[in-house]
Amino acid sequence: MKIRNMNELDIQNKRVLIRCDLNVPIQNGIIQSDARILASLPTIELALQKKAKVIIMSHLGRPKNECYEKKYSLFPVFKYLKKKINYTKVYFSDNYSNITPIKPGEMLILENVRFNSGELKNDAILSKRYSNLCDIFVMDAFGSAHRKQASTYGIGKFVNIACAGPLLISEITMLKKALKNPQRPMISIVGGSKVSTKFNVLNKLSSISDTLIVGGGIANTFLAIDYNVGKSLHEPEFVLKAKKLRDNYKNIVIPIDSRVGKNFSDTEPCIIKLPSKIKENEEIMDFGDETIKKVVKIIEKAKTIIWNGPVGVFEFFNFRKGTENIAKAIANNSGFSIAGGGDTLSVIDMFSIKNKISYISTGGGAFLEFIEGKKLPAINMLEKNFSINTK
C-alpha cells in the first residue's frame, strides 16, 4: 500500500500539524541532548519555507495520570527552537481547544500531548480534536511510530490528508537498506538491560546476521546459562529461553570476560574476571579486555552494522571501556552502520561520533519493532488514510 509524502504536497497557506519526536532528556529545564530535535528540524524548516502555518506536537517523558508535571513540559524545547528558528515568529500554547492563530511561515508549539486525557488510550474524541487543528497532518515521529495513540494513530481516522514527513521516510528507507540484501559480513550489536523485551528481535537478527553480539543485562542472562553471575542484572526466568536461542544459532557472541564490581556506583573500582570466577557479591557491569578485543576484530571486518544499546554501564567511568571501544570501532568502520535507541544516542553524543555513523535512527522501540518485521501502527494509519481519501 502507498502513503503520502509531505514533499509531494502543496502545503502553502495550509494549517500543517506535524507530530514530531521531541522527547529529549531535560534536567532542571536544560536540554541534555538535542539529537532528536536536530533530526526533526529539517522537516519543520521545510514546512516553514513552504509558507505553511506550522503547528508542532510531541510527547515528552511519561507524566503520571496524563496530568501536567513541570519536568515534562515542552516549554524548554520551545525556548530552544525559538532561538534556533529566529527568522520567524514562534509561539507556545498549552490550550489545544483555542490555539493562537498564526500566519503562513510562522510556528506554534503545543504542550506535551501526554498531558491530554485520552492520548495514551487513542481516544476518538481527542483524536478528532487534534484533526480540527489542521488541514494536513504530518507524521514524522518515527520514535513513536510503534505507539497506537491519539497523536500518532487515532488522528489519521479524522483528517482528510495524513502524510509522512521527510524524517519518517528517511528512517524507513535506511532501515530497509540495512535489512534487505545487506553487504556482508553483516553484524548486529544489541545491548540493554532486559532480554525478555528483545527475544523476537534477537531471533530475527540471529537469523539475518553473520554475527550477533550481546551486551549489558541481555548478555548476563546468556552467561547465566552456564555460570553463576552473582548479583548481576539479569532475568533468571528467561535463562532457558536464552539457551534455546543460543543453541539454535551458533553466531551469538557472549562475553568471555567481564568488568565487575561489588556496588553499583560511579566510584566503584572494576576488576576483570572470567565468568566462572564471579562471586555472589559481585555484578557484571561491562565487557572485559579479551571480549573487547574479540568484538572489535569482528566490527573491523563488517560491511553492515546494526547497533542498538550500550554493552555496559557507560555512565560510570570505570565501566565505560567496552561501550567506548565498540562505539569507536563502529565509527572507524568504512561500511554501512545504522544505530538506534535512546541510550545509543547518548553514547554517540558522549564520544562525539555522530558524523561517523552512516545513519542514526531516532527510534528505540520503533527501531526494534521494524527490524523484527512488525507493521508499525503509524505506517498502517498512513496507508489507510491514503486508501480511504484517494478513492
> What's the CATH number where 81 sits?
3.40.50.1260
- pLDDT at position 303, please? 96
Residues 12 and 160 in one domain: yes
Structural domain contains residue 265: yes
Residue 263 lies in a domain: yes
* Over residues 240-250, mean pLDDT: 92
Task: For residues 137 and 24, state if they share a domain.
Answer: yes
Residues 237 and 292 both lie in one domain: yes
Residue 390 pLDDT > 70: no
Task: Show the cell assigned to 87.
Answer: 527568522
Does 163 lie in the same domain as 120? yes
User: Does 282 carry a binding-site annotation?
Assistant: no
Catalytic residue IDs:
36, 194, 342, 365
Query: Are 226 and 154 contained in the same domain?
Result: no
Does residue 153 surpass a pLDDT of 90? Answer: yes
Q: Are residues 134 and 224 in the same domain?
A: no
Is position 60 annotated in a ligand binding site? yes
Weakest-pLDDT range from 33-42, 323-332, 361-370: 361-370
**Residue 16 amino acid letter:** V
Judge if 13 and 153 occupy the same domain: yes
Structural domains counted in the chain = 2
On whether 59 is known to bind a ligand per the annotation, the reply is yes
Indicate if the pLDDT at residue 49 is higher than 80: yes
87 and 214 belong to one structural domain: no
Within-domain flag for 240: yes
- Inform me whether the pLDDT recorded for 322 exceeds 90: yes
Q: In the beta sheet, which residues pair with residue 30? A: 27
Asked if residue 116 is part of any domain, the answer here is: yes
The answer as to whether 365 is a domain residue is no
Q: Is 15 annotated for ligand binding?
A: no
Same domain, 160 and 290: no
Mean pLDDT over the full length of the chain: 93
The per-residue pLDDT for 35 is 85
13 and 117 both lie in a single domain: yes
Indicate the pLDDT class of residue 137, thresholds 50, 70 and 90: very high
pLDDT, residue 367, reads: 85
Residue 21 known to bind ligand: yes
Range of the domain at 87: 6-167+375-389
Q: Is 343 annotated as a binding residue?
A: yes
Cβ-contact 382, 162 below 8 angstroms? yes
| pTM for the model | 0.84
Last residue of a domain, which of 334, 349, 367?
334
The pLDDT of residue 365: 81
**341 known member of a binding site:** yes
